[in-house]
Structure 1
Amino acid sequence: MKPLILSVEDDLQMTSLLRTMFEISDYPLIQAKTAKEALTRFLSDKPDLVVLDLGLPDADGLEVIRKIRSFSQAPILVLSARSEPADKIQALDLGADDYLAKPFSVDELLARIRVICRRLDQTGTLPEAAVFRNGGLEIRYDEQEVRLDGQLLHLTPMEYRILVLFSRNLGKVLTRNYLTTQIWNSTWNSDMTNLRVYMTMLRKKLNHRFIETSFGVGYKMVRESADTAQEA
């Protein structure tokens, strides 16, 4: 069965386009035009995935992300005319799983939804150890909990997914193409932009430790020595 999608969009033409697109693709759909209606429908219909516009008439869509994330980890794909990096960073930092700027390709939107659907269907394979440690970094896979120097880190679901990917490849350079393929199953230019946004946020939360840039190639998680951890 395909996931139930909640589409939150107030523009009538865009609402009609999305309804037609999802109907042709056989996705069950519910729609909302305001932030209040979106939250009401989310609570009553329990959708599997939210496609969210940020420019809503009664509230900023960022507030919808914030409220949903206070009680649910359902995937949220932002579909917005806002294309500035700051807008993407804020939405992703609040817990959005993906961000696609308008105007957009229908094929790309459907592909991104298919990637999210595959993630919903996959349980994932955890490393043999239940806990990963690298200097002052600790990842408890069973609890999906991350601590830095003993302090709990608040990561978005996507930041956590990326960090786990690095922990499984400690010391290896992961190319940008490899990362976007593993995360979004594609290598679109927009994925490269989103990757840079996520890496900026993740490295900031890690106090710019553990993950190094291999210029022109990608990123690598390095092993932190005890001395380095104490200096940090």
Structure 2
Amino acid sequence: MRERRILVVEDERTIADAVAARLRAEGFTVDVAGDGPGGVATFEARQPDLVVLDVMLPGFDGLEVCRRIQAERPVPVLMLTARDDETDLLVGLAVGADDYLTKPFSMRELAARVHVLLRRVERAAGNTAPPTLRLGEVEIRQSERRVRRGDAEVHLTPTEFDLLVYLAGRPRTVLPRERLLAEVWGWAEGSGTRTVDSHVKALRRKLGADLIRTVHGVGYALEVPA
């Protein structure tokens, strides 16, 4: 398997150097950019497999970087944020981020999140499930990783797409948040249930509020329209 390339976009040099050093120790090729324009330019030039992206950047912020790179080519994005604010996190998910870490974070956790995101992309590439799933007016084309609602194409992040496919493969089944974390995110422990909630909110906003039912205190179930 070819060596994976990761782009780190972070303006705090000590953090950027520490993240790059840890990822290189994990066996990745790493490029580093220190501002928004540089991040987009390096992405276009290097075509990385994953981007570690700080929200607060000079030039233009990480949200704008995420918008621009996702418009060019869908790629897993792990955002770094200094604030644990749900609004900020939802905005990040809306522009194409797949996961986030709140500063300060451990390099061990960052490396684990990166490996999980890349494994999920590899698993999706080898998916042998039916090529097309239909849920009322929502059509999921698995081989193309594309979703349409009626006549309009809906842009989903890689994680949103994987979550939707997992729910769609088990219609009307109540799935606990912890199971979703384990199966979709690959997390062995259940401390990231808020991540599941944020992604479900994003899917509802893009595909309709009635598609996914909340089972309070348990998790979620996908409702199949009549």
Note whether the superposition's TM-score is higher than 0.5.
yes
Residues 61 and 190 of structure 1: CA distance in aligned 2, closer, same or farther (over 3 Å): farther
What is the match of residue 62 of structure 1? Answer: 63
Normalized against structure 1, the TM-score is what?
0.88
Say whether residues 1:92 and 2:96 are aligned partners.
Answer: no
* 1:48 alignment partner in structure 2: 49
Tell whether the 8 Å contact from 1:126 to 1:141 is kept in structure 2 after alignment: no
Give the match for residue 157 of structure 1: 158
Q: What is the TM-score of this pair, normalised by structure 2?
A: 0.90
Q: Which residue of 2 aligns with 1:212?
A: 213
Query: What amino acid does structure 1 have at the position aligned with 2:110?
Result: L
Q: How does 1:94-133 map to 2 (within 5 A)?
A: 94-122=95-123, 123-128=125-130, 130-133=131-134
Counterpart secondary structure, 2:72: coil
1:193 deviation in Å?
1.4
Q: 1:220 Cα shift?
A: 0.7
Pairs aligned (count) = 224
* Most deviating of 203-212 and 59-68: 203-212
Corresponding residue SS for 2:78: strand
Equivalent-residue separation in structure 1 for 2:92 and 2:14 (angstroms)? 24
Tell me the amino acid that sits aligned with residue 179 of structure 2: Y
One-letter identity of the residue aligned with 1:127 = A
Select between 87-96 and 75-84 the one with higher mean Cα deviation: 75-84
Is 1:180 aligned to 2:181, yes or no? Answer: yes
Residue 72 of structure 1 corresponds to which residue in structure 2? Answer: 73
Change (3 A) 1:125 1:45: closer
* Alpha-carbon distance in structure 1 between the residues aligned to 2:150 and 2:25: 50
Structure 2 counterpart of 1:14, which letter?
I
Per-residue deviation, residues 12-40 of structure 1 (Å, max 9, x unmatched) = 22122213322332322111111121122
SS at match of 1:5: strand
Between stretches 144-153 and 30-39, larger displacement belongs to 144-153
Q: Distance in 1 between matches of 2:92 and 2:10?
A: 16
Q: Deviations over 1:131-178 (max 9, x none)?
A: 322333322323333233444333333222211111111121111011
Deviation (angstroms), 1:59: 1.1
- Per-residue CA deviation, residues 69-104 of structure 1 (Å, 9 max, x unaligned), is 111112111112132111111111111121111111
Contact 1:7–1:32 (8 Å) recurs in 2: yes
Unaligned regions of 5+ residues in structure 1, if any?
Answer: 226-232
Q: What residue number does 1:228 align with? A: none
Give the structure with higher Rg (CA): 1
SS in 2 for 1:170: coil
Who is 1:8 aligned against? 9
**SS of match in other structure, 2:31:** strand
